[in-house]
Chain A
Amino acid sequence: MTKDCGSIRRHTGEDMMGPSNSIKLRKTSVAVTVIISIMAVTAILICGLWVLLNRIIHDRWWGQLHKEHVILADQLSESLVLPIWNFDNSEIGKILEGGMKNENIFGIVVNTTGKQARMYGRMRDTQWDIINAGQEFPTKGLLVEERDIRFANELIGKVRVVASSKFIEGFLHQNNVFMFSVLVSFELILALSLFLLLWRIVLKPLQGIEAYAIEVSSGNAGSTNIQAFQFQGELESLRSSIEKMFIQLGTRYKELQEEVKRRTESEERFLTIFNSVNDAILIHDLDTGSILDVNQKMCEMYGYTREEVRSIDVGTLSSGEAPYTQQEALEWIGKAAKGNPQLVEWRCKDKSGRLFWVEINMRRANIGGIDRLLVVVRDITDRKTSESALQESEERFRGLIEKAPVAISISRGGRTIYVNHKYLALYGFEVADERVGQPVFDEWAPESRNDILERSQKRARGEIVPSTYEGTGQRKDGSHFPVHVVVETVELPDGPALMAFLSDVTERKQAEKALRESEKRFRHLFEGAVDALFVYDQQGRIVGVNEGVCSSLGYTREELLQLSVPDVEVGLHPADLAPIRDRVLSGQSVIVEGVHRRRDGSTFPVEVHVALFTATEGPLFFAAARDITERKRAEEELTQYRAHLEELVEVRTAELSEANKKLKELDLLKSMFIASMSHELRTPLNSIIGFTGMTLQGMSGELNDEQKDNLTRAYLSAKHLLSLITDVIDISKIEAGRIEAYPEGFVLREMVNDAIATIEPQLKDKGLTIEVDVPPETNLTTDRKRLLQCLINFLGNAVKFTESGGVTIASWKADGQVFLSVSDTGIGIAQKDMHRMFEPFERLETHLRVKTGGTGLGLYLTKKLAIDVLRGDVSVTSLEGQGSTFTIRVPEDIRQAQKASIERSGGDIV
């Protein structure tokens, strides 16, 4: 049934034709059978009747023929007596002719006996009159009636009347043809009328039922109304029962169709799930454990094709390392086969030999009516690796919360689910279990519980609840303490929860209380002070006064709070208030004398202490004003006594300041003089050096040795004089503050090389070695020219006072400073002379004195340059007779040193 319906559903077009054709055939054959049967029966009946009738007619006709035949033969035998006797042939002919009038008489033959035996015959169709005797007359099949013709008992002849049934037969034949045509016509009419009758009462209703059946079978029942057909008799009951059946069938068919659809979908869905599910699924034989079927995912996971899988065992799919062996696997399968579902983690191996972790779920299942083992395999390699990471992360976070320096509790549904260590300490619990699972309510004192209830109700209604709350907490021992709590909603893996950060605010509360008391005390002090105390803001608006102000000025407190400082203070010009304000703002306490004006316009002198008072809303000024009317009067008296004295002092001061001024002018003059002299002095010296140099270099012709020596002395003296002048000018410029550093970035090593180049000739003359220990990567930003000048001065000194050995230049960095030192193996410096090394014109008493040149200003200038221009310093260490080390220190970047210095001096100015 199911199959048929299915095929109908699938091949609707074909089946629409099939049944209808077969029904038509069957219908046709039934009608034909019925019609032919009826026709045959009627034909047989009619034929039978006809044969019977024909027989009767035939018999009657034959009887009549025979009667006529006999009568004719009798008549002829009497009537022919005379003619024969008389040999009257014509009469015989006439009589014969007369006998032939009867149609049934075929012929008449008369044989005469005697001597003149003759035969006279008359035959229909054969025109002969007299037949020779002996001529046989064909009588076969004919009726012959023979009579003796007697005349007076003497036989004279014989007459044979031959009668033929031909006419009767012809008539009967004609009759038969007629009857046959009648029969055929009758049968045709009968067939037609039968068909019409059948069509009307059977076929047409049957067609209706058939169409209805087709519709029902094709699922379109309803468009044909079977009741529209006219039925009669049994057909009517047939129709109603068919209709009932069809209705039943239609309902059943629809149900079946739906069932089939549902089952097909279910099957497809199952197949889709089976193949698209992300887990590998294997179906095992319950007894042997062999693999019967697998899904697509299993093939992907293990790398086998479906066909391959059927030929391998579970051992091949396992890693093989104990306990992941075939034997173990079969044991598990055995357990599951007994009806106990198994969940195991398993180490698997795929076709390529890769090992991976899976979770296997095995259970017995009825598949297609047979009990099988259903195995679901899930790759958990990722989970395995992330499991440990997750666990670690969770532990870390738990550890963080656990060790958090604030009490934390997590609650859900009004019950605490977690508290940390700090919480336990805060509430006096020993272990978390004492608290976990208890209502959150318990951590609050009764006075705060209403608030907590309200908050949780609001939260439940979805209203916004402030995340912070302050209330009274209740410890395990029932004691109370103020609590500040911050509540946040957190998403935990098992759902949202409330996380509360609780802190004990006892200390803060106490501090607040202390502050309030302190404020109260100060308020008393403020109000009770004898002096008039003002508080005003940066715009001069009065924001606070004590009672002293009201009583001394005659204003009410409210009136005063509408006023500004200039309304009260009339002794100071408003412009003078600004510097006072700035000084106070810088942190100084200022005492000024001023004049205050009362409400009634009268004024009085005051001494005011102004100090800065930092309030939460910004800096305010606190002014304590004291009426100094009395003091002023006393002072005035004193002033009068002092006036005379002051006059004297003034005169002196004027004289002194005059002298001071002159001194300053002289100093300036000196600086200007030196500065302008620098050019004037050097120009002629430059000429001397230039010309002698040119001559010495042989540009004006060859010189003899004496000339050369003379000129060399002049040349060197001029150079010495120039350097002396230059040094003096430099020093005076430094002292006048007219030398500024020109910072540039350079590599120290290169500058050192430049310095060595200038001193090289002297080194060579004395045969001294030079060693350089300067890192090549040292860069610095400073006045290169001045630093070079210092280094050359050091080097010049070192070479000057060293007779043997060598000079070492070293450099190092420390703390943003660059140190550059020049060490020699020279005469060294005595301890007592060390402090004078950097003084001007100090030429130490040495045995080398005569031989050494120099201005006596070199080290002094170096120190000046190092400190005032390069913003560094110089130092010296020495051992007499062993050598000296001169060191200059400069900042790595002079610009930063300048900036810092400007800021510092700027601060001082302010």
Chain B
Amino acid sequence: MKTGLVIEDDENNMVLITRLLEKSGYRTLQATTGLQGLEAALRQKPDFIILDIQLPDIDGTEVLRRIRSSEIGDTIPIIAMTSFAMSGDRERLLKAGCNEYIEKPIDPQRVISQIRSVIGDIS
């Protein structure tokens, strides 16, 4: 069973995402700030990370950058999540190093299929 780390400051969204993941057969770890998320990522070494970009302490892109430059950073799949929905966000984030990009409001089934394809989990 693979473990996904969800870094999200909004409680409702956190519940939504974790519930969605658990129903789809993943274990979840939770972090509500960027630094917490960074620490959890480095210590717990999850199989993948779902990362909100708007975080209260450090920006999601910064978290992304730090994870990528850390020891686990090379291969871990990271899925960015944002409600900015601005032109250019997608390119900017993919360039910054995330593997997939999800726009809020999410479509639950679509999100699951996106995650599966990113982490290479066919089942």
Q: Which residues of A contact B (CB under 8 A)?
A: 679, 682-687, 689-691, 693-694, 697, 699-700, 718-719, 722, 726, 741-742, 744, 783-786
Contacts and interface: CB of A to CB of B under 8 A. Distances in A.
- Most B-side CB within 10 Å, residue of A690, A700, A718: A690
A694 B104 contact: no
B19 A694 contact: yes
B85 A687 contact: no
A40 to B, nearest CB: 142
B54 A679 contact: yes
Contact of B105 (A690, A699, A742, A786): A690
B75 interface: no
A777 to B, nearest CB: 24
19 contacts: A683-B10, A683-B83, A686-B83, A686-B105, A686-B106, A687-B10, A687-B12, A687-B16, A690-B104, A690-B106, A693-B105, A693-B106, A693-B107, A694-B19, A699-B23, A742-B87, A742-B88, A783-B87, A785-B87
Nearest to A785: B87
Given A687-B16, A690-B13, A699 B83 contact: no
Given A694-B19, A699-B20, A699-B23, A686 B13 contact: yes
B74 interface: no
Interface in B1-41: 10, 12-13, 16, 19-20, 23
Nearest to A682: B83
A685 B91 CA distance: 25
A783 B90 CA distance: 13
A726 B103 CA distance: 13
Nearest to B13: A687
A681 B23 CA distance: 28
Contact of A694 (B85, B88, B91, B108): B108
Contacts of B91: 742, 744
Given A690-B16, A694-B19, A699-B23, A685 B105 contact: yes
A697 B108 contact: yes
A786 B86 CA distance: 9
B108 A699 contact: yes
B109 interface: yes
Contact of A684 (B12, B20, B87): B12
Contacts of A697: 108-109
Contacts of A700: 23
A690 B15 CA distance: 10
A324 B114 CA distance: 92
Contacts of B23: 699-700
Nearest to A786: B87
Size class of the contact patch on chain B: 10 to 19
A359 B85 CA distance: 90
Contacts, number: 59
Nearest to A733: B86
Interface in B33-86: 54, 83, 85
A690 B87 contact: no
Contact of B13 (A683, A719, A726): A683
Contacts of A694: 16, 19-20, 108
Contacts of A722: 105
Contacts of B107: 693
The 3 closest A-B pairs by CB, nearest first: A742-B88, A687-B12, A689-B105
A386 B5 CA distance: 88
A690 B111 CA distance: 11
A699 B106 CA distance: 14
A682 B108 contact: no
Contacts of B109: 697
Contacts of B85: 726
Contacts of A744: 91
A687 to B, nearest CB: 4
Contacts of B108: 690, 693-694, 697, 699
A742 B93 CA distance: 14
B56 to A, nearest CB: 12
A783 B87 CA distance: 7
A690 B108 CA distance: 7
A258 B88 CA distance: 105
Considering residues A682, A689, A693, A726, which has the most beta carbons from chain B within 10 angstroms of its beta carbon? Answer: A693
B115 to A, nearest CB: 14
Contacts of A742: 87-88, 91
A683 B107 CA distance: 15
Nearest to A695: B108
A691 B83 contact: no
Nearest to A787: B87
A679 B13 contact: no
Nearest to A741: B87
Contact of B104 (A682, A691, A741): A682
A691 B16 contact: yes
A725 to B, nearest CB: 11
Contacts of B106: 686, 689-690, 693
B55 to A, nearest CB: 12
Contacts of B20: 694, 699
A697 B111 CA distance: 13
A719 B107 CA distance: 12
Contacts of B88: 742, 785
B21 to A, nearest CB: 11
A686 B104 CA distance: 6
A679 B19 contact: no
A248 to B, nearest CB: 116
Nearest to A694: B108
Nearest to B23: A699
A685 B104 CA distance: 9
B3 to A, nearest CB: 20
Contacts of A699: 20, 23, 108
Contacts of A784: 87
A700 B54 CA distance: 28
Contacts of B54: 679
A700 B15 CA distance: 13
A697 B112 CA distance: 12
A684 B83 CA distance: 11
A689 B111 CA distance: 13
A168 to B, nearest CB: 165
Q: Which of A694, A700, A741, A784 has the most CB of B within 10 A?
A: A694
A717 to B, nearest CB: 13
Contacts of A718: 105
B102 to A, nearest CB: 11
Interface in B85-123: 85, 87-88, 91, 104-109
A690 B18 CA distance: 12
B50 to A, nearest CB: 13
Interface centre among B10, B16, B107 (most CB of A within 10 A): B16
Contacts of A691: 12, 16
Contacts of A687: 10, 12-13, 16
B93 to A, nearest CB: 13
Contacts of B12: 683-684, 687, 690-691
A726 B104 CA distance: 12
